[in-house]
């Protein structure tokens, strides 16, 4: 489990601080990374991967969405690290 939870500054996340004391936000109007280094790149990468996985299916049944999400999570976790890819290319 991570020790910090980063989100953008959408007002719907304002109560996160009550549950996650280390919750930090970034204002995307000011930039994609805050002055303190907070960003949401990791979760945006995960969502991009999930959307790409869903597009490979002809139809996504609502009652099976959790299975498609599990498939996307499995594939995302199997992505090799940058170092492994570079070693294979050398």
pLDDT tens-digit readout, 19-66:
888 888 888 888 878 888 888 887 788 788 888 878 887 888 889 888
Q: What is the 3-state secondary structure (H, E, C) of the chain?
A: CCCCEEEECCHHHCCHHHHCCCEEEECCCCCCCCCCCCCCHHHHHHHHHHHHHHHCCCCCCHHHHHHHHHHHHHHHHCCCCHHHHHHHHC
- Residue 27 structure tokens: 């204002």
Find the mean pLDDT for residues 4-30: 84
pLDDT tier at 2, thresholds 50, 70, 90: low
User: Residue 3: its pLDDT value, please?
Assistant: 62
- Could you tell me how far CA 26 lies from the centroid of its own chain? 15
Domain ranges in the chain are 41-89
pLDDT tier at 1, thresholds 50, 70, 90: very low
- Whether pLDDT at 89 is above 80: no
């Amino acid at each position: 489990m991570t020790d910090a939870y980063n989100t953008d500054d959408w007002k719907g996340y304002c109560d996160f601080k009550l549950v996650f004391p280390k919750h930090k936000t970034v204002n995307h109007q000011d930039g994609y990374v805050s002055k303190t280094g907070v960003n949401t790149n990791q979760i945006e990468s995960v969502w991009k991967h999930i959307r790409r996985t869903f597009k490979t299916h002809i139809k996504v049944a609502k009652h099976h969405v959790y299975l498609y999400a599990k498939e996307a999570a499995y594939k995302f976790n199997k992505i090799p690290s940058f170092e492994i890819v570079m070693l294979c290319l050398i």
